[in-house]
């Protein structure tokens, strides 16, 4: 077996089969676990859900991010409850990956936790929460999003305006 490159190395997808990807989720190297999570997402198989959900608690940020992205790619609503706790992760990238995945799943049960993210200290997370709430499309998010029209960052204000317009069309 040859050594795997970085997570974005395209050789991974040609050399990693689903059985080895499941096995590699438990490898001692974080880069291998992250690559395995990414490969399982590319499979688009709901069979990968339990294994991907299990690594959402991995100690390494990259593994949690890849697992969240993969769960979003697979698109199974059963992943929603496992993704919601990542909205409070210490890492901004993990929080954003969870938001993207929840948006792809269109998990309405994540509405309240996403609304709570509108008050995150990180501007990118606030924008991510706004965009995810707009994708989910629940009009109950309009009021909380409206409060961000006064945010000090123009990116947040502009995202809020777009989201409110989108939600008002539903």
Higher pLDDT, residue 170 or 69: 69
DSSP three-state, residue 1: coil
Please state, rounded to an integer, the average pLDDT across all residues of the chain: 90
Cα atoms in the Cβ-side hemisphere of radius 13 Å centred on 153: 14
Between 1.10.150.120, 1.25.10.10, 1.10.3720.10, 2.60.40.10, what CATH number should domain 1-78 receive? 1.25.10.10
Which residue has 């399982």 as its token pair? 40
pLDDT tens track for 32-76 = 999 999 999 988 888 899 999 999 999 999 999 999 999 999 999
Between 1.25.10.10, 3.40.50.620, 3.40.50.1580, 2.40.10.340, what CATH number should domain 106-170 receive? 1.25.10.10
Higher pLDDT, residue 123 or 11: 123
DSSP 130-149: HHHHHHHT-GGGHHHHHGGG
pLDDT recorded at residue 17: 59
What is the domain partition of the chain in residue ranges? 1-78, 106-170
DSSP three-state, residue 10: coil
- Cα–Cα distance between 152 and 30 in angstroms, integer? 37
């Amino acid at each position: 077996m040859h050594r795997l490159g970085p997570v974005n190395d395209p050789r991974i997808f040609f050399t990693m089969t689903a059985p080895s990807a499941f096995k590699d989720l438990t490898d001692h190297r974080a880069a291998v676990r992250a690559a395995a999570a990414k490969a399982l997402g590319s499979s688009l198989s709901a069979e990968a859900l339990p294994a991907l959900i299990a690594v959402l608690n991995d100690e390494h940020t990259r593994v949690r991010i890849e697992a969240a992205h993969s769960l979003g790619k697979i698109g199974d609503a059963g992943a929603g409850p496992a993704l919601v706790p990542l909205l409070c992760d210490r890492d901004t990238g993990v929080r954003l990956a969870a938001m993207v995945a929840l948006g792809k799943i269109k998990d309405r049960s994540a509405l309240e936790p996403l609304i709570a993210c509108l008050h995150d200290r990180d501007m990118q997370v606030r924008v991510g929460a706004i965009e995810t709430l707009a994708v989910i499309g629940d009009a109950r998010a309009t009021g909380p999003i409206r409060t961000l029209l006064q945010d000090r960052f123009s990116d947040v204000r502009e995202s809020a305006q777009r989201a409110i317009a989108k939600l008002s069309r539903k």
